[in-house]
Amino acid sequence: MNWRKPTYLAYAALRGYRFPSLLRRYTREYEAGAGEQVTTVALLKLLRHCRKRVPYYANLLSKIPDQRLAQEPRASLQNLPLLTKEIIRSNFNSLRSDDNAKRNCQVNTSGGSTGEPVQLIQDDEYRDASAAVRLLSQRQLGCEVGQPLVRLWGSERDLEAGTKSKKARFFNWLTNSMSLNAFHMTPSDMRTFIEVFNRVRPRLIVAYAQAIYELAQFVEQNQIAVEPQRAVLSSAGTLYGFMRQKISKVFGCEVYNLYGSREVSDIAWELPSLNGLWVPPWANFVEIVDDDGNSVPAGSEGNIVVTCLTNYAMPLLRYWIGDRGTLLPVNAACKGSQVLGHVSGRTVDVFRRSDRTLVDGEYFTHLLYFRPWVRKFQVVQKDHAHVLFKVVSANGKPPQAELEEIAARSRLTMGGGCRVDFEFVDELPAPPGGKFRYTISEVAA
């Protein structure tokens, strides 16, 4: 009997948290097929709040009659300009709701790992909704509250907040969860992590993408015995195909991808019976647009724009999150909810030719798949016609023929005059935020 779930949810409710009731509601509505209408209602409520309480949006939305807003909330939203980090920094005060004195607001930061840090204000409604959505995702992947869960995480502030205080340790005990520090992965640490996996046999491993991939490589290279795990939920970084394959092989289980950010929390995740990443209808509304901000057809790749439906303290409407992906056509299989076909990575991971042709950075990661002499790599576009492959090598020096093949295939997509260089280094460390990027373009859009 799982006594931890009712105990934890009842205790949290007594402490004033709303996520237990939201979790029950979201679960009930999900099972009943909630989708498009849930998002529409939430969006209309948010837009009315912004028109009344948020100075930045008040002038923009006041031009739209309330009747039209009620009849066409999505069309009304899409008439608004896109919101970027630069705009948030320049209009920080006017983006704040004027009734924040009655809210329990906290400042959060995001974007430091990409060189564009931004401050945000988030309230209890946002935090409770985010917690409920996160617990729902774990439930959908077979891990109810109170069943064993292990986090292999790569954010120092999350780990410190989630493991060091007495309150955090109590909640971890009550929820039967534990955190392993992905920022301290010495060989000894990694052997300990595997011992934890083998002993605990968690229902779900929630892992930082690069960390669980590095751990899988370590297990394979050192021939460490690992019990088959139940499921891995990868987040906080792009889950490339080669990473998913390795993680699944080593840990003997399905690997699911979760896409989210500090700005808007969890956006979408994979489900066992669904092609793509399901967007929970209560949390965010997603658009895919071209570089000029125009919507692209379903299935076409573009820039991901997100409207957070739950943060009233500092609403983010049509937020240019900096990633690229596709949206699938809405259909019965996804119960009317939005589904991201894929997320291909940061906008800055897209390479650009001089004729403005875009080349997905993942093209270059495929060129290094299954090369025994590659331990870790990073591909950097230095100029329109200059690509640099940085490689941490393994198993000796690479064959010259393979380097020539990689260079030739790079020129196939970047142009015959493209300069292709290789630089062999001892290590490729992750940036301060911990999110290692396999492809980087230094060419401005």
pLDDT of residue 113: 42
Q: What is the per-residue pLDDT for 432?
A: 56
End-to-end CA distance of the chain: 56
The residue ranges of every structural domain in the chain are 1-346, 353-441
Residue 12, helix vs strand vs coil:
helix
- The pLDDT, as a whole number, for residue 159 is 44
Cα 8 to Cα 11: distance, rounded to the nearest angstrom: 5
Give the three-class secondary structure for 314: coil
| DSSP H or E run through 110 | strand 106-110
CA distance 263 to 273: 28
- 353-441 falls under which CATH superfamily? ANL, C-terminal domain (3.30.300.30)
* Residues 26 and 282: beta-carbon distance below 8 Å: yes
What is the model's pLDDT at position 112?
A: 44
Q: Which residues of the chain have pLDDT under 70?
A: 111-117, 154-165, 183-184, 331-336, 345-349, 356, 358, 360, 430-435, 445
Token pair, residue 197, equals 């996996």
Q: Look at domain 1-346 and name its CATH class.
A: alpha beta
Q: How far apart are CA 367 and CA 85, in angstroms?
A: 33
pTM greater than the 0.85 cutoff: no
* C-alpha dihedral (215, 219, 220, 224), degrees to nearest 10: -170
Residue 390 main-chain phi, psi, to 5 deg: -100, 130
Residues 6+ apart with CB under 8 A from 215: 152, 185, 190, 193, 194
Output the six-digit token pair for 378. Answer: 């990073």
